[in-house]
Amino acid sequence: MTEILVDIRDGVGVITLEAPERRNALTVSMADELVTACNELDSDRNVGAIVLRGAGGYFCAGADRAVLTAAHADPAGGTTFSNLSAIYRSFARVTELGVPSIAAVRGGAVGAGVNLLLSASLRVVGRDAKIVSGFSSLGLHPGGGHLALLNRVAGYEATVALGVLGQPLSGTRAYELGMAWEAPEDAHVEDRAEQLARNAAGDPELSRMVMASLRHELGPPPLTLAAALELERASQMRTQRRRGEGSPPTISRAGNA
């Protein structure tokens, strides 16, 4: 693997998105590597928790620009459809991990990067980090189960604000809304995430049993992520084609959240 690094530290699997030159935006190959990393850590019974982080002080800037440009040109094309599916699959795979996962978010997250942080079991977000859905500012319908993931973690009001109205969030505001467990100073985000993970990593077998019970007892969200992926897809493809035919009107942004 070249852009996903995996390290195991005292029972904590640390997955690092290692493409800081593009703020860890997901390419197809990088998404495939992330799925492989999840598979490897799930199969290691000595791993009791996982931390997901981005290199270079930024979590994830969403899907890589080349993937988005191709989607605008031909959203229904076989290659485009397959490439976006690979990116969607990467954060869907995070939701399936057999151990608790903690997203350590520094700098910010945009678009599919927000989906990725929402896919983790828990979030530690730097207080000055910026969380931006980003879809509406590009004239795109949200994709990848974005609305379902937002509602599952943040609730209806925040889903409307981020996913529909395009409002950005600071890490502090995300914490206030219940989207993050903690919002420490930026320099302490990753250390704090690993500290939390070690509580579960000390007994991997128990960690896996508790996570399995949590899923059985709390059940799936009202709409499963798999269903949300498909429901959003046609509308997002339409807006991708519209984007390829000519930029939509510029959308102004009033206020910050």
72/70 Cα distance (integer angstroms): 5
- Quick: pLDDT tens for 10-62: 999 999 999 999 999 999 999 999 999 999 999 999 999 999 999 999 999 99
Quick check: is 218 in a domain? Answer: no
Quick check: is 201 in a domain? Answer: no
**Contact of 170 with 132, CB cutoff 8 Å:** no
- Quick: pLDDT tens for 76-119: 788 878 888 899 999 999 999 999 999 999 999 999 999 999 99
Residue 255 — pLDDT band, cuts 50, 70, 90? Answer: very low
Domain range holding 132? 4-186
- Quick: pLDDT tens for 149-200: 999 999 999 999 999 999 999 999 999 999 999 999 999 999 999 999 999 9
251 SS3 class: coil
Quick check: is 208 in a domain? Answer: no
Quick check: is 130 in a domain? Answer: yes
Which residue has better confidence, 28 or 216? 28
57/108 Cα distance (integer angstroms): 9
User: For 181, what's the count of Cα atoms within 13 Å in the CB-facing half-sphere?
Assistant: 17
Quick check: is 108 in a domain? Answer: yes
What global pTM score does this model have? 0.86
Question: At 82, which CATH number?
Answer: 3.90.226.10
Domain tally, the chain:
1
**Contact of 170 with 107, CB cutoff 8 Å:** no
**Contact of 145 with 168, CB cutoff 8 Å:** no
